[in-house]
């Protein structure tokens, strides 16, 4: 693997704000969806995204879901601000009122996001109470109206992340209806979490594991709509598995938990999926490249743990990975923890990687 750290994107310095000057691209090409890290509440905050960006220049990164109400009435800079080094980065909105989504999309686009995504997959009770998220699978025309309103409001691509159906819906009919409605509205791409959501009786966590995966359903959708960029999500554990699904005809794959738990897998995204060198050679270089960002964050009042909580899995599979995690979970959470704390933690990890990438049994037990 060739290493080129000179252009490694170090986030931190400039920040996109509502008056951001980053030009908005207008069209999505299928390659834009080739690989992405999923939107994950409480996980994919700006620190997490900045960290992931040190591991891949090409992965598309998504924010946590933000509701239209929060965007329109809440503290925008805190909810939407992000570092200039995070591009390409998409904002995910939660809502079901076309006018509110248009307004929220306009506000988010002004921050400089590269894409606005609508959540049609979240099954939580709170989201169901607001009649958005996965329950919108039952209202494809409404989703189409939402997409049309968002498209009219912004120049950046508008995408939808959905399920293959909910509850007793037939996934063939439900996904077709959704895809038809959003295509008519001009959607730029669809990301399909390849399982149903069961809206009664399962927690959001169970809804990410229990309904069975059906990649075949997403492949059939792509065959039926070759012109629509479509990425698949759900249960994809490695970049090779993503490449395999792309090889079967899909435009891209979105990884959530695997990328978060084992971020070093992102080091293979650029070489394997884009034929380009990784920004850094290994997790140690990634950490080194990320230190200026951490220093900026600390200087801005963020506690070390606020950044490093996303990095606990960085050394998975190496001797000392457990000591790294333990040091960050103890010394790293104390007031005053700083870059030295981080360096000490990294010093506990062996640079020998002869143990393969799978977590050691000893470490898997943590």
Active-site residue set: 122
Nearer to ligand FMN, 35 or 43 (CB): 43
Query: Of residues 121, 165, 211, 320, which one binds ligand FMN by CB under 6 A?
Result: 121
Q: Does residue 43 touch ligand FMN according to CB under 6 A?
A: yes
Contact between 194 and 215 under an 8 Å Cβ cutoff? The reply is yes
Task: Identify the residue among 24, 30, 41, 276 touching ligand FMN (CB under 6 A).
Answer: 41
Closest contact distance (angstroms) between CB of 8 and ligand FMN is 25
Residue 147 engages ligand FMN in binding (rule: CB under 6 A): no
**Window contacting ligand FMN (CB under 6 A); options: 37-45, 144-152, 272-280, 298-306:** 37-45
Q: Are the CB atoms for 77 and 17 separated by under 8 Å?
A: yes
39 is in an annotated binding site: yes
For residue 349, how many other CB atoms are within 10 A of its CB? Answer: 22
Which has the closest alpha carbon to 146: 91, 99, 180? 99
Considering the rule CB under 6 A, would residue 122 count as an interface residue with ligand FMN?
yes
CB under 6 A: which stretch of 178-186, 255-263, 271-279, 315-323 binds ligand FMN?
A: 255-263
The answer to whether 91 and 63 are in contact (CB under 8 A) is yes
Give me the least distance between CB of 187 and ligand FMN, in Å please. Answer: 15
Strands 15-16 and 82-83, how do they pair? antiparallel
Q: Is 235 in the site for ligand FMN (CB under 6 A)?
A: yes
Binding status of residue 12 toward ligand FMN by CB under 6 A: no
Task: Tokens 């884009």: give the residue.
Answer: 274
Quickly tell me which residue has 């080129």 as its tokens.
4
Residue 208 makes contact with ligand FMN by CB under 6 A:
yes
**Near ligand FMN by CB under 6 A: residue from 15, 56, 67, 92:** 92
CB of 245 to ligand FMN, least distance (A): 12
Answer whether 231's CB lies under 8 Å from 189's CB: yes
262 binds ligand FMN (CB under 6 A): no
Cα torsion 289, 292, 295, 300 to 10°: value is -130
CB of 169 to ligand FMN, least distance (A): 18
Q: Cβ-closest residue to ligand FMN?
A: 256
193 binding ligand FMN? (CB under 6 A): yes
- The C-alpha atoms of residue 35 and residue 252 are separated, in whole angstroms, by 5
**In contact, 64 and 42? CB cutoff 8 Å:** yes
Buried b (16+ CB within 10 A) or exposed e, 274-310: beeebbbebbbbbbbbbbebbebbbeeeebbeebbbb
Q: Note the residues at the interface with ligand FMN (CB under 6 A).
A: 38-43, 64-65, 92, 119, 121-122, 161, 193, 208, 233-236, 255-258
């Amino acid at each position: 693997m060739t290493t080129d750290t000179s252009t490694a994107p170090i986030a931190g310095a400039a920040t996109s704000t509502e008056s951001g000057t980053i030009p908005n691209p207008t069209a999505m090409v299928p390659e834009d969806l080739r690989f992405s890290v999923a939107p994950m509440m409480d996980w994919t905050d700006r620190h997490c995204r900045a960290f992931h960006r040190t591991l891949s220049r090409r992965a598309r990164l998504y924010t946590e879901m933000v509701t239209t109400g929060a965007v329109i009435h809440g503290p925008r800079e805190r909810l939407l601000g992000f570092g200039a080094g995070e591009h390409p980065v998409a904002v995910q909105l939660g809502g079901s009122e076309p006018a509110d989504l248009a307004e929220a999309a306009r506000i988010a686009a002004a921050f400089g996001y590269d894409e606005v995504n609508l959540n049609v997959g979240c099954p939580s009770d709170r989201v169901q109470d607001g009649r958005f998220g996965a329950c919108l699978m039952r209202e494809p025309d409404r989703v189409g109206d939402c997409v049309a309103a968002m498209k009219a409001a912004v120049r950046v691509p508008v995408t939808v992340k959905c399920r293959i159906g909910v509850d007793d819906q037939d996934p063939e009919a439900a996904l077709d209806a959704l895809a038809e409605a959003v295509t008519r509205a001009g959607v730029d791409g669809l990301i399909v979490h390849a399982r149903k959501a069961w809206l009664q009786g399962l927690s959001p966590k169970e809804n990410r594991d229990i309904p069975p995966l059906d990649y075949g359903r997403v492949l059939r959708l792509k065959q039926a709509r070759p012109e629509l960029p479509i990425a698949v999500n759900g249960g994809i554990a490695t970049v090779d598995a993503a490449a395999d699904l792309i090889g079967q005809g899909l435009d891209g794959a979105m990884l959530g938990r695997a990328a978060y738990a084992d971020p070093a897998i992102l080091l293979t995204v650029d070489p394997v999926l884009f034929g380009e060198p990784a920004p850094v050679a290994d997790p140690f270089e990634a950490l080194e490249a990320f230190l200026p960002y951490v220093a900026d964050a600390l200087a801005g009042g963020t506690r070390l743990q606020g950044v490093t909580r996303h990095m606990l899995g960085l050394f998975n599979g190496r001797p000392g990975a457990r000591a790294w995690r333990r040091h960050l979970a103890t010394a790293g959470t104390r007031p005053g923890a700083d870059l030295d704390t981080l360096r000490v933690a990294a010093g506990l990890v062996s640079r020998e990687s002869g143990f393969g990438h799978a977590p050691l049994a000893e470490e898997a037990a943590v």
